[in-house]
Chain A
Amino acid sequence: MLREITLGQYYPAESVLHSLDPRVKLFSTLVFIITLFSANNAVLFAVVLVTLVGIIKLSHVPFSFMVKGLRSIVILLIIAGLFNLFLTPGRTLASFWIFSISDVGLKNAVLMTSRMIILIIGTSIMTLTTTPNQLTDGLEKSLGFLKKVGVPVHEISMMMSIALRFIPILIEETDKIMKAQMARGADFESGGLIKKAKNMVPLLVPLFVSAFRRANDLSYAMEARCYNGGEGRTKMRPLKYSSLDQRAYICIVTYIIVFYAVKVIL
């Protein structure tokens, strides 16, 4: 039942985007989000949209796979859209019963929902083309400057990658313990909220115990392999910019210039 949850939605394929340095992808995603939210007219919006379509084509990830990620937030989108549609004051276009739709409301609703959709697809391209490990590596390197002010960047990224490694194992374990307790007559489905929460105890206690046991084992295993924090560590695949990454940066800068030029002109 829990098997269907997929995490760290990496889609293995051969493409330009897959072979880019994760730092480039992190930076470009940031640029993309900023431009998306500063696009306040149709032309700018079209620039963003065309760029997105181009990136989708480059990624070699099937479009249907990206849309799948939207499914889980459809309800959120609808609710947000409806709120904007009905609750924004302005010139009334249509009204029935206690609801009325204003021109500003309609514009906001359309803009909001399409922005959200583009945002999600845009960011999901990054996670679809970057393995979780590359992502944490990229973050560690990009945020390296924070080390100087005492932020334990290496430790945080190590914790993130260990978490990514153990999530599937813990999901499987949850499934197993749930079945074992169900075989002893436990009921995880019926009853009110409080009863349901209470019924979770036979699941959560063993799960925590097991997580601690695993953490203990893992700490021994890491120590045994000479782990001693980030100092003096080397990397098998250190992040190095290639000529492809340089070209990507040029594209990003060109995109920024074009976008803001259009914004200033119009």
Chain B
Amino acid sequence: MSIIKSKELVHEYIRRDEEGNVESIQTALDHVNLNVEAGQFISILGHNGSGKSTFAKHINALLTPSEGTIWVDGMSTSDDEYTFAVRQTAGMVFQNPDNQIIASVVDEDVAFGPENIGVPTDEILERVERSLKMVGMYKYKNHSPNKLSGGQKQRVAIAGVMAMEPKCIILDEPTAMLDPDGRADVLRAVHTLNREKGITVILITHYMEEVVDSDYVFVMEKGKVFMEGTPREIFKDVKTLKEHSLDVPQVTLLADELRNAGLPIAECILTRKELIGELSKLNLKRISAQTGGMGGSFDKTNAKSADSKENVLILDHASYKYSPGTAYEVTALDDVSLTIKEGEFIGIIGHTGSGKSTLVQHLNGLIKATDGHIYYRGQDIYDKDYDIKELRTQVGMVFQYPEHQLFETTVFKDVQFGPKNQGLNEKEQIKRAYEALNLVKLPDEFYLASPFELSGGQKRRAAIAGVIAMKPAVLILDEPTAGLDPKGRDDILGLITDMHEKRGDTVILVSHSMEDVANYVDRIIVMDAGRPAFDGTPKEVFAHYKELEKMGLAAPQVTYVMNDLRDAGYDVDASATTVAEAKESIVNALMN
């Protein structure tokens, strides 16, 4: 039975000027025909602006069609009579965990939906308990949402929807703002609902790994459904997906690369197990006594000899405590000593609360260590006569979601803000702003636009330009790709790599995406409980993938594949961290 069905669905965002005349029409949905069977787990993929969120709002009757019809469980959403019935049938979870929790206590928030639809008191209590148990959040029922992690908040939001007893639940990028741990928890909860309660799930996402387990996938572009099928059918066509700059899971990508290299591997490999199965059919070299398991260990080719370089930043036994001397005392940094050299490209990883953000905020003096010293080019930044404002121009810091700090009337003026604070003259300010905007590759027609008119990715680039314009010698970026789609992410990471390679900037990248870090940086520092747990090249660090897992982190998928192969007795390089390295190692191990 079909639960959601759309026929020639069109949605237009119409902008009107003050007199009510139509200024512009933007077609967000362009004749979408789509059918979802009850009980299925559906994924919708697509870029930002592809119309997938607009479609989600239609299922919930938050938006109504400009043309065409959409039926939810047989009810047309255009019919006002059904609005509340539709919303009750198809519940919705949004992207931002903070902006969808209404009450200040977890269980009161879950009760919000049932209260609105007039469920009797006793039954509300039952439903709240049941829903919270379903998502594993029952023991937090008396907590304040502010004290929960992002993943926990999203699970509360899911419970809030489940308490209304819907037949279908729509999740609009529920994991975009979460760390890997939170993402896994949320997905597990959603899969359980689908499997055990038979709830139809519609998951909108950028993350390809989340799609693999669904029954059916729709890929949207420019308001149209441009691909649909089972995950296997979709990921078969790696080339088309890449052309549309959509991601493919690393395992699928590796399988595809190997097939292109002429290896006889089946199409559309989705899981590690499948790939290992395929590879073990091949005649791969086994680990022998002679090779002693050293096989094909290739050192990082572009490893620069950083030893000769000057030390830029030194942390000397730095510690930081929040609210020291009170019951709420938290040690965020615990006796950290680190040296950062000129021209290094460093990745800092760690789960939420591991102290990675606190650490980087020390580097430009935004947080003052409660103990220990920090030296910038040999000078103690806590010296009385040290110019901390000058340090901040030397050590540039791009915060998480930097677009939230844009404030000026035009993009150009906003980028000028930093140089202006540096006390540079007007001419120099303009020059700096031009250079920075050029560097982030923002098209010049946007220079004089309001920053609030830009798209998400463009805003982020403008915000990064605002920091680069100060010409910092060290650039720190805290989760610069958070919430971006794959294309936006690749653009930003490419830009950062350019700056590092072409201008020789020292770059520190804080991230929880292991794949990003492995692909780009020279050195990784893993933070855990306020201390650097590992510090070395990506290979050295990811060799400890088992310990990383205990910290709630993980190595890139390919590292797991290579380790699995090695454990099965094949002579491949288990330290490969990128798809290219893995491919090379497997091809080398092939006996012909």
Contacts and interface: CB of A to CB of B under 8 A. Distances in A.
A220 B94 CA distance: 9
B208 interface: no
Interface stretch (A53-61, A107-115, A121-129, A164-172): A164-172
B322 A228 contact: no
B120 interface: yes
Contacts of A206: 404-407
Query: In this complex, which of A176, A226, A227 has the most chain B Cβ atoms within 10 angstroms of its Cβ?
Result: A226
A132 B323 CA distance: 24
A217 B95 CA distance: 9
A15 interface: no
Interface in A203-260: 205-206, 209-210, 213-214, 217-218, 220-228, 232-238
Given A161-B104, A179-B366, A180-B402, A221 B396 contact: no
Interface stretch (B121-129, B223-231, B284-292, B563-571): B121-129
A185 B116 contact: no
Contacts of B422: 185
A235 B92 contact: no
B108 interface: yes
B419 to A, nearest CB: 8
A214 B452 CA distance: 15
A232 B120 CA distance: 11
A146 interface: no
Contacts of B120: 234
B333 interface: no
A186 interface: yes
Contact of B146 (A168, A186, A226, A227): A168
A131 B104 contact: yes
B306 interface: no
B483 interface: no
Contact of A226 (B164, B399, B405): B164
A171 B229 CA distance: 46
A163 B154 CA distance: 20
Interface stretch (B4-12, B15-23, B83-91, B180-188): B83-91
A183 B364 contact: yes
Nearest to A199: B421
Interface string B42-71: 000000000000000100101000000000
Interface in B393-438: 393, 396-397, 399, 402, 404-407, 417-418, 421-422
Contact of A162 (B102, B105, B124, B421): B102
Interface size class of B (residues with CB under 8 A): 35 or more
A183 to B, nearest CB: 4
A238 B121 contact: yes
B107 interface: yes
Contact of A234 (B101, B124, B322, B366): B124
Contact of B112 (A132, A187, A227): A227
A232 B118 CA distance: 6
Nearest to B395: A183
A183 B397 contact: yes
A201 B420 CA distance: 15
B588 interface: no
A169 B98 contact: yes
A182 B361 CA distance: 11
Interface residues of A, number: 49
A29 interface: no
B99 A132 contact: no
B124 A132 contact: no
A186 B389 CA distance: 9
B121 A209 contact: no
A231 B87 CA distance: 17
B355 interface: no
B116 A228 contact: yes
Contacts of A142: none
Contacts of B533: none
B405 A165 contact: no
Contacts of B161: 225
A148 interface: no
Interface in B288-334: 322-323
B366 A217 contact: no
Nearest to B401: A176
A184 interface: yes
B113 interface: yes
A71 interface: no
- Most chain A Cβ neighbours within 10 Å, of B99, B108, B397, B470: B99
Interface in A137-162: 161-162
10 contacts: A176-B399, A183-B392, A184-B418, A184-B470, A214-B99, A220-B94, A223-B87, A226-B117, A226-B164, A228-B116
Given A202-B405, A233-B118, A236-B121, 10 more contacts: A185-B393, A202-B407, A209-B452, A222-B102, A232-B118, A234-B114, A234-B118, A234-B124, A236-B125, A236-B128
Interface of A: 3-4, 131-133, 161-162, 164-165, 168-169, 173, 176-177, 179-187, 201-202, 205-206, 209-210, 213-214, 217-218, 220-228, 232-238
Interface of B: 57, 60, 62, 84, 87-88, 91-92, 94, 96, 98-105, 107-108, 111-121, 124-125, 128, 145-146, 160-161, 164, 322-323, 361, 364, 366, 389, 392-393, 396-397, 399, 402, 404-407, 417-418, 421-422, 452, 466-467, 470
4 tightest Cβ-Cβ pairs between the two chains A and B: A185-B421, A217-B99, A221-B100, A205-B407
